[in-house]
């Protein structure tokens, strides 16, 4: 939580006469994404101080010249809003209490436990942010994040974009339906990134990969010793998603017991870790995805009806690639540009035959399959354009013609076999299981040419 208002990194000043303390603390804070500066004494610290310049000031109680307590007063007179944390070399309760009474936020004793330091700073930042958070300011930030990574101009995809924009700013549960590889996770991330929860994490759970015993622990975490192998207390995904979004991929695959658990946590926003009794309350937005027909699963008694209605509040269906063929050239060029740049290879386009093949292929694995195919093609391509030979997809024989009549399929298949056999009529006829005369007849009938 290293954000202050406007998402600028918090600024921290370390005032300590020991070089090693200044160096190690500024380095630690820099690694944490904060803007850190240091001063070795009160004079240097006051020179650097300006109202609003530092969010947090770590101040050594023992300083040469003006001591930390005196400096604390001076700092407060320049910047009353700065949060001051005293550093002491020993646990002196008297001095610490005195500094707290004078307005210090807290004190730390050297050497500091890193976990304590992390939590202390993150709590200060969180408090400062909450205090200064301006809802009106946030509403002005209407930029659309990540949505530009979803490519498509087909009417079906434009409808999907509209749905994302409509539902993103709300807290509504979203169900994303689509075949494998259509980019359901990308849609979930776009919704999260355009929601007021975007400053908090989106946590993905692949429910398809969870066994019955594992789901509860994965969702809700477990206490140490809760079961064999639970050697540590572990946070669950719902706890990790607190404040943000939890994305349950392949939600149709969860077992009946976990369906009940899921229903409960959606309704109450509360749960206990496995083996624990502490009730944990979480604030999350739920997005689910499935490639199964959940309505059918409900009818077959494999998926709880009440859970289905809780998940299916706002539904977005992503069309498979074969139903939005007009997007294929756009997607191919997008992936080519991105992937070629990634490996610094000057591949800039597709041969017309390659593009025809890409447009005709049925893409059963959808966009994911296309991305992988183009990635491989970019790697093996020898010239500036990707050719049919570079593509790892089957030749056009397996492509689905626009016209799927038996005649059309036969025409494409015969042409493909002839091409593969170098128009050797005897061999082609053998493979096709017809005699040479019939093959000649079909070549003539379909007007096939080399």
| Smallest gap from residue 413 Cβ to another protein (A) | 42
Give all strands (DSSP E) within 135-250, no chain letters.
174-177, 202-206, 221-222, 234-235, 245-249
Nearest to 24 by CA among 125, 110, 88, 105: 110
**Binding residue for another protein (CB under 8 A) from 11, 12, 28, 63?**
28
Nearer to another protein, 188 or 311 (CB): 188
Nearer to another protein, 179 or 218 (CB): 218
**Binding residue for another protein (CB under 8 A) from 38, 75, 160, 203?**
203
Residue 151 makes contact with another protein by CB under 8 A: no
Q: Interface with another protein by CB under 8 A: which range of 31-39, 260-268, 281-289, 414-422?
A: 31-39
CB atoms closer than 10 angstroms to residue 323: 11
Nearest to 439 by CA among 421, 427, 423, 425: 425
Please report, as residue ranges, which positions from 219 to 258 form the binding site for another protein (by CB under 8 A).
Answer: 231-235, 240
| Smallest gap from residue 378 Cβ to another protein (A) | 16
Please report, as residue ranges, which positions from 294 to 323 form the binding site for another protein (by CB under 8 A).
Answer: none
Please report, as residue ranges, which positions from 110 to 149 form the binding site for another protein (by CB under 8 A).
Answer: 110-115, 117-118
Residue 33 makes contact with another protein by CB under 8 A: yes
Contact 391, 357 (CB under 8 A): yes
Q: Strand pairing partners for 106?
A: 85
Nearest to 201 by CA among 247, 269, 263, 268: 247
**Binding residue for another protein (CB under 8 A) from 6, 7, 8, 23?**
23
| Smallest gap from residue 18 Cβ to another protein (A) | 7
Q: Interface with another protein by CB under 8 A: which range of 20-28, 66-74, 282-290, 376-384?
A: 20-28
Residue 30 makes contact with another protein by CB under 8 A: yes
**CA–CA distance, 192 with 285 (Å, rounded to integer):** 9
| Smallest gap from residue 112 Cβ to another protein (A) | 6
| Smallest gap from residue 87 Cβ to another protein (A) | 8
Contact 59, 32 (CB under 8 A): no
Contact 369, 391 (CB under 8 A): no
Residue 25 makes contact with another protein by CB under 8 A: yes
Contact 236, 272 (CB under 8 A): no
Contact 203, 233 (CB under 8 A): no
Nearer to another protein, 49 or 87 (CB): 87
DSSP single-letter state for residue 153: -
**CA–CA distance, 218 with 253 (Å, rounded to integer):** 14
| Smallest gap from residue 116 Cβ to another protein (A) | 9
Q: Interface with another protein by CB under 8 A: which range of 109-117, 299-307, 400-408, 432-440?
A: 109-117
Contact 349, 380 (CB under 8 A): no
Cis peptide before 93 (omega within 30 of 0): no
Nearer to another protein, 74 or 224 (CB): 224
Q: Which residues bind another protein (CB under 8 A)?
A: 1-2, 18, 20-21, 23-25, 27-28, 30-33, 87, 110-115, 117-118, 201, 203, 231-235, 240, 342
């Amino acid at each position: 939580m290293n954000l202050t208002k406007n998402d600028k990194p918090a600024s921290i000043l370390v005032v300590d006469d020991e070089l090693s303390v200044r160096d190690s603390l500024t380095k630690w804070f820099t690694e944490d994404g904060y803007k850190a500066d240091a001063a070795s004494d009160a004079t240097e610290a006051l020179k650097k101080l300006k109202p609003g310049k530092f969010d947090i000031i770590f101040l050594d109680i023992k300083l040469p010249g003006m001591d930390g307590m005196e400096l604390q007063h001076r700092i407060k007179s320049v910047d009353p809003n700065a949060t001051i944390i005293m550093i002491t070399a020993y646990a002196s309760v008297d001095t610490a209490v005195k500094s707290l009474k004078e307005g210090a936020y807290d004190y730390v004793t050297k050497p500091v436990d890193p976990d304590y330091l992390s939590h202390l700073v993150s709590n200060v930042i969180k408090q400062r942010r909450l205090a200064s958070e301006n809802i009106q300011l946030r509403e002005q930030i209407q930029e659309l994040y990540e949505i530009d990574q979803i490519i498509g101009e087909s009417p079906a995809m434009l409808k999907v974009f509209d749905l994302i924009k409509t539902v993103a700013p709300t807290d509504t549960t979203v169900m994303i339906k689509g075949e494998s590889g259509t980019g359901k996770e990308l849609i979930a991330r776009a919704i999260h990134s355009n929601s007021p929860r975007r400053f908090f994490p989106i946590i993905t759970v692949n429910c398809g990969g969870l066994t019955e015993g594992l789901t509860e622990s994965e969702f809700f975490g477990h206490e140490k010793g809760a079961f064999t192998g639970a050697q540590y207390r572990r946070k669950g995904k719902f706890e990790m998603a607190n404040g943000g979004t939890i994305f349950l991929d392949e939600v149709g695959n969860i077992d009946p017991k976990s369906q009940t658990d899921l229903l409960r946590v959606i309704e109450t926003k509360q749960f206990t870790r496995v083996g624990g009794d502490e009730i944990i309350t979480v604030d999350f937005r739920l997005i689910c995805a499935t490639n199964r027909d959940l309505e059918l699963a409900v009818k077959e008694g494999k998926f709880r009806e009440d859970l289905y209605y809780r998940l299916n509040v706002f539904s977005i269906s992503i069309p498979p690639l074969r139903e939005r063929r007009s997007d294929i050239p756009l997607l191919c060029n997008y992936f080519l540009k991105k992937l070629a740049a990634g490996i610094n290879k000057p591949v800039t386009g597709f041969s017309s035959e390659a593009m025809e093949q890409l447009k005709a292929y049925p893409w059963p694995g959808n966009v994911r399959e296309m991305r992988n195919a183009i990635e491989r093609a970019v790697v093996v391509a020898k010239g500036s354009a990707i050719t049919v030979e570079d593509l790892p997809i089957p030749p056009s024989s397996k492509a689905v013609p626009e016209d799927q009549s038996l005649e059309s399929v036969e025409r494409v298949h015969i042409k493909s076999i002839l091409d593969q056999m170098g128009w050797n009529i005897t061999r082609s006829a053998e493979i096709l299981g017809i005699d040479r005369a019939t093959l000649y007849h079909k070549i003539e009938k379909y007007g096939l040419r080399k």
